[in-house]
């Protein structure tokens, strides 16, 4: 078994927000490889989030962000299971950061899974027309459409957007990390962005 360096434990804790023992276990399981430990923890977080996503969310908060120029306001309704979690600094910070994300990235939808069939159909038709106009062969048009729909989701769906603080993460990954850290289902119910 690889000897675990305390500096690596501290780095892992800073990057993921997990406890000392969880960081140590992840490093031991990865043979001391920091990148591999982070990857394994993200995968574990995904599994935890999937288990918790069906649980009821009756508590929550509204994250609000007002830009310094007083011309952009964003609010996000973030739900959780208990009032205990809604009062934690981690949850409040998540709600505020999600409001900042909405202000900065101007999403139109919460997630790609929630897109209406009308939106998907319209975007599919646009992508198909562009591909045909460009003279693409019929056999690659379906792949082009899939790529264009993924790009559309990344640009306009909050959960698929790159996180404004770290573009290696998506908003969905940030929410999953909070689910893992807090041990509760967390959902974004709605958001609004106002500008002058």
pLDDT in tens, 27-60: 888 888 878 887 777 776 655 555 555 556 778 9
- For 114-173, what is each residue's pLDDT tens digit? 888 898 899 989 988 888 888 888 888 888 888 989 999 999 999 999 999 999 999 999
DSSP letter at 60 equals: E
Please give the model's pTM, rounded to 2 decimal places.
0.69
6-52 sits in which CATH class?
mainly alpha
Helix ranges (DSSP H) in 17-137: 20-29, 34-52, 83-86, 89-105, 117-133
CATH architecture of 59-110+157-195: 2-Layer Sandwich (3.30)
Question: What residues does each domain of the chain span?
Answer: 6-52, 59-110+157-195, 116-152
DSSP 151-178: HHHHHHBGGGSEETTEEEEEHHHHHHHH
- Name beta bridge partners: 193: 74
């Amino acid at each position: 078994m690889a000897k675990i360096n305390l500096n690596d434990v501290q780095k892992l804790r800073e990057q993921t927000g997990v406890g000392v023992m969880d960081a140590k276990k992840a490093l031991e399981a990865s043979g001391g490889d920091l990148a591999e430990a982070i990857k394994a923890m993200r995968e574990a977080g995904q599994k935890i989030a999937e288990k918790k996503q069906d649980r009821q969310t009756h508590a929550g908060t509204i994250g609000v962000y007002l830009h310094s120029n007083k011309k952009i306001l964003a609010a996000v309704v973030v739900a959780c299971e208990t009032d205990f979690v809604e009062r934690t600094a981690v949850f409040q910070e998540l709600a505020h950061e999600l409001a900042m994300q909405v202000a900065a990235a101007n999403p139109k939808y919460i997630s790609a899974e929630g897109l209406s069939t009308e939106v998907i159909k319209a975007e599919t038709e646009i992508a198909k027309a562009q591909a045909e106009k460009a003279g693409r062969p019929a056999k690659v048009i379906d792949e082009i459409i899939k790529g264009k729909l993924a790009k559309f989701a990344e640009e306009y769906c909050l959960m698929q957007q790159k996180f404004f603080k770290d573009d290696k993460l998506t908003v969905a990954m940030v929410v999953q990390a909070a689910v893992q850290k807090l041990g509760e289902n967390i959902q974004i119910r709605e958001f609004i962005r106002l500008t002058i």
